[in-house]
Structure 1
Amino acid sequence: MLDRVMVRGRAVPPEPPRRRGATSLEPDGDGFNPLRELFAAVPWLQVGLGAVVVVLAAMVPWGASEVLTTLDRQIMAIDVRGELVGESQIELERQVGQWVGRSFFATDLAEVKQALEQRPWVQSAAVRRVWPDRLVVDIREKKPLAYWNQDQLVSRSGQLFQPGNREVAGRLPLLAGPDERVSDVIAMARTMAETLAEKGVGFAGLTLEPRGAWTLLLANGIEVSLGRDLVELRFERFMAVYQEQLAPRADEVQRIDARYTNGVAVQWKPLDESSGNKS
Structure 2
Amino acid sequence: MLESLLIRSRAVPPDPPRRRGATSLEPERDRFGVFAAVLAAIPWLQVGMGAVIVLLAALVPWGTGKVLGAMDQQILAVDVKGEFIGDSRVAIERAAGNWIGKSYFATDLSEIKTFLEQRPWVESAAVRRVWPDRLEIDIREKKPLAYWRDGRLVSRTGEVFSPANPEVAGRLPHLAGPDERVRDVIQMARTLSERLVEHGLGLAGLALEERGAWTLKLGNGIEVVLGRDQVEERFERFITVYETRLVARSEEVSRVDARYTNGVAVQWKAVEPASSPRS
Q: TM-score if structure 1 supplies the norm length?
A: 0.85
1:251-270 to structure 2, matched below 5 A, reads: 251-270=251-270
Aligned to 1:151: 151
* Residues 215-264 of structure 1: CA deviation (Å, up to 9, x unaligned): 11011111111111111111110010001110110111111111111111
Of all paired residues, the percent bearing the same amino acid is 63
Structure 1: distance between partners of 2:84 and 2:58: 49
Aligned to 1:214: 214
Aligned to 2:202: 202
1:135-174 to structure 2, matched below 5 A, reads: 135-174=135-174
Distance 1:37 1:215, change over 3 A: closer
Secondary structure of 2:125's aligned partner:
strand
RMSD of aligned alpha carbons: 2.2
Distance 1:234 1:54, change over 3 A: same
Matched, 1:125 2:149: no
User: Structure 1 unaligned runs (5+)?
Assistant: 1-18
* Residues 102-127 of structure 1: CA deviation (Å, up to 9, x unaligned): 11111111111111111111111011
Structure 1: distance between partners of 2:252 and 2:88: 44
* Residues 6-27 of structure 1: CA deviation (Å, up to 9, x unaligned): xxxxxxxxxxxxx94588xxx9
> What displacement does 1:58 show?
1.2
Aligned to 2:85: 85
Structure 2: distance between partners of 1:271 and 1:194: 33
Distance 1:57 1:230, change over 3 A: same
Distance 1:202 1:275, change over 3 A: farther
Give the AA of the match of 1:110: S
Aligned to 2:104: 104
* Residues 83-140 of structure 1: CA deviation (Å, up to 9, x unaligned): 0001122221111000111111111111111111111111110111111111100000
> What displacement does 1:275 show?
7.9
Distance 1:248 1:54, change over 3 A: same
Structure 1: distance between partners of 2:103 and 2:116: 19
Structure 2: distance between partners of 1:41 and 1:201: 92
Matched, 1:179 2:166: no
Give the AA of the match of 2:182: V
Structure 2: distance between partners of 1:42 and 1:197: 85
> What displacement does 1:47 show?
2.9
> What displacement does 1:213 show?
1.3
User: Structure 2 unaligned runs (5+)?
Assistant: 1-11, 17-24
Aligned to 2:59: 59
Give the AA of the match of 1:49: M
Paired residues, number: 254
> What displacement does 1:52 show?
2.0
Q: TM-score if structure 2 supplies the norm length?
A: 0.85
